[in-house]
């Protein structure tokens, strides 16, 4: 089969003809039928053993070119002489043996160059001299053993340099002298053996990543080399398959000589953290201890405002000395792994008076006989609270009385027992409430009292008694939420919706009623169809009355995908409407007829004469 025939059969042309995908098409050259106007070309997983200056000579409008795993071994002179507009070039996974000095000389606008797993052995092998606009260079997964030649990479606009998973063992001061301020540089996954003391001194970075670099060396060696550096982010974590090592406090003493705002220690093991271990980090604002196998924490960092303790083994939140973090505004203890649950006692968080965001989700919280007024005492500035996916709770009459500033409350998959009919009445500023899969009783007409500023309400998975969204019940609910813009009632077992059930919601712009059991589409329940997005996907709707869709405004849409729609004369008016208003239909290709061999509505439209 020749390339032209293959092109006609396999190549997918998307968007307006400027973006082409020829991936994995067994091609050995660029097909002549490919238009010269192409801007984005995915040519990955084909075969081009060599790149010549004639390979892409016609494609002078190229902006992005993906040549992943094309078996490229030789890259000759001036191969991109006609591609001066090229901004993204991906050469990942090619067994490159030779690159000519002028191979990239014409790429004056190149911003992103990926040579991941491209058999690069030396930095000096990469002809980077003319790439003055390069912003990101990814050399991960090669066999680079030395940083000699890094001084060639002094590109004024270079922002990110990735040297992950190479064979770099030594870093010396002279190797780094050309690096400019504000860069992201990653040495992740290299088996570092030594860093010259002070090699990074006086250098300034946005991010430094030494994750998983501790197979042959103690972390103290890395930190000695980093003495005097300034960086916003410092990553010192490991991965699941990394060798297990224990960090001692003594190994961290040189951290005080690093100026850093954020440190990530994910998956590390700490042997003897002391109160004073991090005291010298006077500029540290964010500390990430995700899955560091902790069961207690008693360190002091006065400047810290963001603490991440996800996936650890705390038995009690009081085992974390919160008084040492009095300036904290963000605290995450998500996914705690202690098998018996995480105890949240009275006043354990009381010292965090500045806290604004608290995530206790997925932690099997144990809150005692009642929750949560005492447990959240002192958190008067809290704005975001996530309690989702936890053990069942017995709520106080006003469970969030201590947190009147809440803007977001997530209780998804949390079973709670109410001790009052209006548990949220003091949350006058709440804008987002997620009660999905909570088995909340929606017949309680006082449930949403006080929520005058609510914008988003998620009730997914709460079964509505009798299956009917009644005007009486839901109008009463929504009188309490006059500013509601987004309403989610998917998977609620809804079989019918009474007329005017949502009429009081004059601000509503999105309603999700998918995954229910509706037989008929009804839009008369809504205040207006001029600017609204309706999701009725995955119901059992067969017939659509055209009057239910014809008033949808130009900025409105409806999703009827995955319904067993009848594509016959009973729906001819609706099908004709779709023909004229297809842009208002979401997921049109998945909106199919209920037939032995389902066909999409847009297929029926294009073949209307043969079907009616």
How far apart are the C-alpha atoms of 334 and 324, rounded to whole Å?
Answer: 20
The mean predicted confidence, pLDDT, of the chain is 92
Please state, in angstroms and rounded to a whole number, the distance separating the CA atoms of residues 233 and 165.
20
Q: What is the C-alpha radius of gyration for the chain, rounded to an integer number of angstroms?
A: 30
**1 CB-near residues (< 8 Å, 6+ apart):** none
Q: Phi and psi at residue 115, in whole multiples of 5°?
A: -125, 45
Does 27 have pLDDT greater than 80? yes
Gap between the Cα atoms of 307 and 312, Å rounded: 13
| 3-state secondary structure at position 343 | strand
Give helix then strand counts, H and E, for the chain.
7, 38
Residues of the chain above pLDDT 90, percent: 86
Q: Give the span between the Cα atoms of 594 and 134, in whole angstroms.
A: 53
Residue 598: pLDDT band by 50, 70, 90 thresholds? Answer: low
Q: How confident is the model at residue 254 (pLDDT cuts 50, 70, 90)?
A: very high
Across the range 3-9, mean pLDDT stands at 41
34 closest CA partner among 76, 65, 70: 65
For 533, list phi and psi in degrees, rounded to 5: -115, 120
Q: What's the pLDDT band for 15 if we cut at 50, 70, 90?
A: very low
The phi, psi pair for 264, rounded to 5°, reads -120, 120
With cut-offs at 50, 70 and 90, classify the pLDDT of residue 53. very high
3-state secondary structure of 82: coil
Domain limits, the chain? 1-167, 447-611
Strand, helix or coil at 601? Answer: helix
Q: Report the pLDDT averaged over residues 508-527.
A: 96
Residues 74-127: pLDDT tens digits? Answer: 999 999 999 999 999 999 999 999 999 999 999 999 999 999 999 999 999 999
For residue 245, what pLDDT band results from cuts at 50, 70 and 90? Answer: confident
pLDDT per residue as tens digits for the range 385-432 = 999 999 999 999 999 999 999 999 999 999 999 999 999 999 999 999
**Interacting residues of 607 by C-beta distance below 8 A, sequence separation 6+:** none
pLDDT of residue 3: 42
Residue 9 to residues 1, 28, 68: CA-CA distances in angstroms? Answer: 10, 16, 22
Per-residue pLDDT band for 303 (boundaries 50, 70, 90) equals very high
Question: What one-character DSSP code corresponds to residue 526?
Answer: B
**What pLDDT, in 10s, does the model give residues 330-382?**
999 999 999 899 999 998 999 999 999 999 999 999 999 999 999 999 999 99
User: What is the second-level CATH architecture of the domain 447-611?
Assistant: Alpha-Beta Horseshoe (3.80)
Residue 596 has pLDDT above 70, yes or no: no
Local confidence band at 1 (pLDDT 50, 70, 90 cut-offs): very low
| pLDDT at residue 611 is higher than 60 | no
Q: What's the maximum distance between 2 C-alpha atoms anywhere in the chain?
A: 82
**Domain 447-611 in the same topology as domain 1-167:** yes
Does the pLDDT of residue 252 top 90, yes or no? yes
Tokens representing residue 167 in the block? 């064979």
Find where tokens 């053990």 sit.
Answer: 391
pLDDT score for 279: 87
Which one is the CATH code of 1-167: 3.80.10.10, 3.40.50.11540, 3.40.640.10, 3.40.190.10? 3.80.10.10
């Amino acid at each position: 089969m020749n390339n032209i025939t293959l092109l006609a059969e396999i190549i997918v042309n998307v968007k307006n003809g400027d973006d082409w995908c020829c991936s994995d098409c067994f091609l050995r050259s660029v097909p002549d039928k490919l238009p010269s106007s192409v801007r984005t070309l995915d040519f990955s997983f084909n075969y081009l053993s060599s790149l010549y200056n004639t390979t892409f000579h016609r494609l002078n409008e190229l902006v992005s070119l993906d040549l992943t795993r094309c078996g490229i071994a030789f890259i000759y002179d001036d191969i991109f002489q006609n591609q001066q507009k090229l901004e993204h070039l991906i050469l990942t996974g090619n067994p490159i043996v030779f690159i000519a000095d002028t191979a990239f000389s014409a790429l004056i606008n190149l911003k992103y160059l990926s040579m991941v797993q491209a058999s690069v052995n030396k930095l000096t092998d990469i002809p980077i001299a003319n790439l003055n606009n390069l912003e990101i260079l990814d050399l991960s997964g090669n066999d680079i053993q030395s940083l000699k030649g890094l001084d060639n990479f002094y590109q004024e606009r270079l922002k990110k340099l990735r040297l992950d998973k190479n064979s770099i063992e030594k870093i010396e001061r002279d190797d780094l002298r050309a690096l400019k301020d504000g860069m992201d540089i990653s040495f992740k996954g290299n088996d570092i053996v030594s860093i010259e003391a002070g090699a990074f001194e006086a250098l300034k970075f946005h991010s430094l990543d030494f994750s998983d670099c501790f197979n042959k060396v103690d972390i103290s060696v890395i930190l000695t080399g980093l003495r005097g550096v300034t960086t916003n982010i410092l990553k010192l974590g490991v991965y699941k398959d990394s060798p297990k090592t224990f960090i001692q406090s003594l190994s961290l003493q040189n951290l005080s000589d690093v100026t850093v705002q954020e440190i990530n220690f994910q998956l590390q093991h700490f042997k003897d953290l002391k109160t004073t271990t991090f005291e010298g980090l006077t500029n540290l604002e964010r500390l990430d201890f995700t899955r560091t196998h902790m069961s207690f924490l008693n360190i002091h960092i006065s400047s810290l405002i963001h603490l991440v303790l996800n996936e650890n083994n705390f038995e009690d939140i009081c085992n974390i000395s919160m008084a040492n973090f009095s300036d904290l505004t963000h605290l995450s203890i998500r996914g705690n792994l202690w098998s018996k649950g995480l105890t949240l006692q009275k006043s354990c968080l009381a010292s965090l008076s500045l806290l604004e965001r608290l995530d206790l989700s997925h932690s099997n919280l144990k809150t005692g006989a009642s929750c949560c007024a005492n447990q959240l005492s002192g958190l008067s500035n809290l704005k975001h609270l996530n309690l989702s996916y936890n053990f069942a709770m017995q709520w106080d009459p006003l469970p969030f009385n201590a947190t009147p500033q809440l803007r977001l409350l997530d209780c998804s998959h949390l079973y709670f027992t109410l001790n009052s009919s209006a548990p949220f009445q003091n949350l006058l500023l709440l804008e987002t409430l997620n009660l999905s899969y909570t088995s909340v009783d929606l017949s309680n007409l006082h449930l949403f009292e006080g929520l005058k500023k609510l914008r988003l309400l998620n009730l997914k998975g709460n079964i509505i008694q009798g299956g009917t969204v009644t005007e009486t019940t839901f109008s009463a609910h929504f009188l309490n939420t006059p500013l509601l813009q987004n309403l989610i009632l998917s998977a609620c077992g809804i079989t019918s919706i009474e007329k005017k059930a949502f009429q009081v919601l004059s601000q509503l712009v999105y309603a999700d009623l998918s995954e229910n059991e509706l037989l008929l589409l009804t839009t008369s329940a809504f205040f207006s169809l001029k600017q609204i997005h309706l999701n009725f996907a995955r119901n059992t709707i067969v017939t659509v009355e055209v009057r239910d869709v014809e008033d949808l405004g130009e900025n409105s849409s409806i999703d009827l995908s995955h319904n067993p729609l009848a594509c016959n004369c009973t729906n001819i008016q609706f099908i004709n409407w779709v023909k004229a208003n297809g842009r208002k239909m979401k997921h049109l290709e998945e909106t199919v007829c209920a037939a032995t061999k389902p066909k999409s509505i847009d297929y029926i439209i294009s073949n209307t004469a043969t079907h009616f």
